[in-house]
Structure 1
């Protein structure tokens, strides 16, 4: 990877970027990580996930989770950007056009030479962000977009293959980019593990069995449009 590249990682939730791209972020200081769903609900509530994370309510949860994210990205020398959208558990999912507008402003502000986006596996928030990123890709044709496999959902049998098939039907080609193979040095592995450890509330919710699978290899897919005649074959 070129040393002068400016990376922008788009993350649905406050931990997704480090879970899925932590080694890459560790290898590229000053990476900007834009997290989409960081706002509490308009009125306070209590959800099962927030309870499992150790919080009394959503307001407490989002304050603590934003702080955890800033701590984690600080350990990786990354720059956090928090967009104030509400995730699906708060029953206020944004319109995809609103996401496209906000993400487009982030791209304009950061001027990345490479954008990392979620492949969009399983979780409705991840699918929504991926859809917005695909639309964004059409506005920034000169900027490469690469999709990362969403951890932990990539472990679900067949979910990656099903998503790649769906993208192909919609006219998107996905090729593994060898240029993003990150030589995971011991130092970078330690940095990623330390960053993951700062997401204390989320590790609590995952539980010990799921935690063991969170630190896994990172896989990326180069995305591009194909001609209609090719995608319909």
Structure 2
């Protein structure tokens, strides 16, 4: 069972990431195992586009200060750079889409859709975004691709919308648990996966080392998500100790 995911080197594994960090934080060790076994792996990040608005929402401004960025353009540009460094470490190919992060999205009336929080129900103004993301994915995917989607643990609005867009493709899917939201909401996993089969994959010390190093490449996000790099590495070590799981609907 361990070799199942990457046995066929002619099949691409496509991991869908809402933001620039989600996939590597969640399954970076598994990706590295696949790559070292000769597999083809790509990480497609949906919400990493450049905003055309000169002004930013109060929430975006607060996050920029926390991340130590001066503007939305700088935040996206430098975070894309972090992502490329992380992908070089774990071995996957990065693909960046141009959909906006929720902190940069506005409605047709010009108001910010998510002015105060990212952990809310999707705004009605985002209904079209889901269909556009589904269409963008469908244009690039091939019939033999294996697609891995976030479970949207924690209900971050962008994770929820990403999951909807991927599920609307109407194809077989695998799911990964969102780190660190899984650790913050451990009870959510059972309800989301109770109707699914669980596949667990061992992570070697090489895979774990690449995972920790790759995750640490997202330096701007570590204070917000993990507080310190040491805590990030400790969390990944504990999470990966018994292998990484993917889930498949029965």
Q: Considering the TM-score relative to the shorter chain, is it more than 0.5?
A: yes
The SS at the match of 1:184 is coil
Specify the alignment match of 2:123 in structure 1. none
Q: Name stretches of at least 5 consecutive residues in structure 2 with no aligned partner.
A: 107-125
Superposition map of 1:212-231 within 5 A: 214-215=235-236, 216-217=239-240, 218-224=244-250
Which of the numbers 136, 160, 163 marks the counterpart of 1:102?
136
Quick check: 1:15–1:69 contact (8 Å CA) kept in 2? yes
Q: Distance in 2 between matches of 1:72 and 1:32?
A: 12
Moved segments of 4+, more than 4 Å:
none
Superposition map of 1:22-41 within 5 A: 22-29=28-35, 30-41=40-51
How many angstroms does 1:43 deviate by? Answer: 1.2
Which of the numbers 16, 25, 47 marks the counterpart of 1:19?
25
Q: Distance in 2 between matches of 1:112 and 1:193?
A: 30
Specify the alignment match of 1:229 in structure 2. none
Which of the numbers 158, 182, 198 marks the counterpart of 1:176?
198
How many angstroms does 1:161 deviate by? Answer: 3.4
Per the normalisation by structure 1, the TM-score is 0.81
Specify the alignment match of 1:150 in structure 2. 178
Per the normalisation by structure 2, the TM-score is 0.76
Which of the numbers 75, 83, 102 marks the counterpart of 2:89?
75
**Does the C-alpha gap of structure 1 residues 117 and 80 become closer, same or farther in structure 2, counting only changes over 3 Å?**
same
**RMSD between superposed Cα atoms in Å:** 2.1
2:10 equivalent to 1:8: no
Q: Distance in 1 between matches of 2:152 and 2:144?
A: 21
How many angstroms does 1:11 deviate by? Answer: 0.5
Quick check: 1:51–1:57 contact (8 Å CA) kept in 2? no
**Does the C-alpha gap of structure 1 residues 176 and 71 become closer, same or farther in structure 2, counting only changes over 3 Å?**
same
